[in-house]
Structure 1
Amino acid sequence: MTDSAGFTEDAFLGGQLRLRQPKSGHRAGHDAMLLAAATAVRPGDRVVEFGAGVGAAGLALAKRVSEIRLALVEIDVGLAELARVNAAANAIAADVIVLDVTSEASAFADAGLAPDSADVVLMNPPFNDPARHPASPDKARVSAHVARPTTLTSWVHASRRILKSGGVLTLIWRADGIAEVLASLDRGFGSFKILPVHGDPAIPANRVLIRAIKSGRAPTEIYPALMLNERATVPNKWVQEILAGKGILPLAKP
């Protein structure tokens, strides 16, 4: 549904979740729902979403496990306000925090995110390579999509700082940047679980979902690839069930 004020109201999880979001700029889609479906949580967990935007991934996760304690961290004041609106409209309790993920530890602590206080962090950082993606005239879209040289390392560092030992980080990134992700996670994280995501089974993966454990020491596991489409234009029925909120991805299993 579209209104005249520059926003749309969109249904996710088969209509279980409705989100108000801007018509232009970054808009929530499959990546956010896949991230939520790949995140392992238990009732009572303190869960923090970095770069939450309008709250899509975190709120989708709360729809699956309602007893989590959710914080949505977003730098853009306008998007943070939409996240508040969306949480209330979907009857989900969430702390919405306006904060730059690259801020110092003191700013996180002032916002209620002290070191070693979170059980789960999930994030979909800006990951487009500026050398290969022409700059958009939409500044909000650039901020949400284009990675700076330090984006990944700073976001991983912030997640490591607020997670408890044994806490879980789940993130989505470009598949061709997997080496960057693993290098960033090498300090302080282990027990990696990796799920390649293909838009088309005939071409290489374009996304990768990764679950990592703070201080984890288990061997790395690579799961069979997730095919969003069985053929170029034929959606994978199992993925459609996941996107409708009727299942989880393997990374979300204990």
Structure 2
Amino acid sequence: MNEPALTDDTLLGGRVRLFQPKDGYRAAIDPVLLAAAVPARSGHTVLDVGSGTGAAGLCLAARIPGIELSGIERDPGALALAQRSAGANGVSVDWIEGDVLAPPSAVLSRQYDHVISNPPYRSADRGQRSPDPARAAAHSITDADFDAWLAFCVARVRGKGTLSLVLPAGELSRAVALIEPRLGGLTLLPLWPKQGAEARRVILQARRGGRAPSRLLPGLVLHAQDGRYTPEAEQVLRHGAPL
């Protein structure tokens, strides 16, 4: 059987090498932005939930050398590409094959300093699924499973640790209602497509034991009127600047 066609791509201005399928689900800028939001330090443990081909975790490892990175992913094909990319980047990662909704004991027995995730969000209860199986799996989830996904993420955060998520604006109220009673110190960072446009996605961050009031940050404008990235977005996407 022939292997699926792959592309050998780079992120963070060439600092991260990423192998991806040529067709089907491919990482865009969300995992790069997610990695830029994580307040990790060298020596911290990080779990990438639904890690896919590893883009978010590998970007975080490039930004902050010395983290102890793990990732859980149910698709063995995506996991194999993540392992290949980690090797190409010289990064040691504990990739775990498993379903977030029925997680293996290796994950359930641990908590982490930081948990990150770009969860599926185009609800299978309410919308059409993509005809591509990999893309459909990455983007479709029922409302009940979305809640279970977030609950799993919350439970994996250790004391004073953080949870960081990229979410569509339409899922924000559902996520806040589930997360806020269990974690504190919520911070919301809107991602504006252009100046004056509605934010379609938001980075949500919460901290275990945080007591600070919730904050809505100014956010990041991604594109100028001519369609190019803004200088601020370029600093994050190309040069590894933190959010």
- TM-score normalised per structure 1: 0.90
User: CA, structure 1 residues 200+134, in 2 after alignment: closer, same or farther (shift >3 Å)?
Assistant: farther
User: Residue 183 of structure 1 aligns with which residue?
Assistant: 177
Q: Gaps spanning 5+ residues in structure 1: where?
A: 250-254
User: Residue 132 of structure 2 aligns with which residue?
Assistant: 138
1:141 partner amino acid: R
State the distance in 2 between where 1:61 and 1:97 align: 18
Asked if structure 2 preserves the Cα contact closer than 8 Å seen for 1:48 and 1:71, the reply is yes
Asked if structure 1 preserves the Cα contact closer than 8 Å seen for 2:36 and 2:240, the reply is no
Task: Provide Cα deviations, 1:218-240, integer angstroms capped at 9, x if missing partner.
Answer: 10011002110122523211101
State the distance in 1 between where 2:232 and 2:192 align: 14
Is 1:114 the counterpart of 2:109? The answer is yes
User: Residue 158 of structure 1 aligns with which residue?
Assistant: 152
Q: Please report the RMSD computed on the Cα atoms of aligned residues, expressed in angstroms.
A: 1.7
User: Residue 22 of structure 1 aligns with which residue?
Assistant: 21
Of 215, 219, 230, the match for 2:213? 219
State the distance in 1 between where 2:125 and 2:114 align: 32
What displacement does 1:155 show?
1.8
Q: Gaps spanning 5+ residues in structure 2: where?
A: none
State the distance in 1 between where 2:225 and 2:171 align: 25
Asked if structure 2 preserves the Cα contact closer than 8 Å seen for 1:190 and 1:217, the reply is yes
2:77 partner amino acid: G
The runs of at least 4 aligned residues of structure 1 exceeding 6 Å deviation read none
State the distance in 2 between where 1:225 and 1:208 align: 9
Asked if structure 1 preserves the Cα contact closer than 8 Å seen for 2:36 and 2:241, the reply is yes
What displacement does 1:142 show?
0.7
User: Residue 63 of structure 2 aligns with which residue?
Assistant: 64
2:241 partner amino acid: G
Higher alpha-carbon deviation: 195-204 or 86-95: 195-204
User: CA, structure 1 residues 71+113, in 2 after alignment: closer, same or farther (shift >3 Å)?
Assistant: farther
What displacement does 1:150 show?
2.0
State the distance in 2 between where 1:244 and 1:187 align: 36
Asked if structure 2 preserves the Cα contact closer than 8 Å seen for 1:38 and 1:248, the reply is yes
State the identity as a percent. 34
Asked if structure 2 preserves the Cα contact closer than 8 Å seen for 1:152 and 1:184, the reply is no
Asked if structure 1 preserves the Cα contact closer than 8 Å seen for 2:180 and 2:186, the reply is no
User: Residue 48 of structure 2 aligns with which residue?
Assistant: 49
State the distance in 1 between where 2:37 and 2:146 align: 19
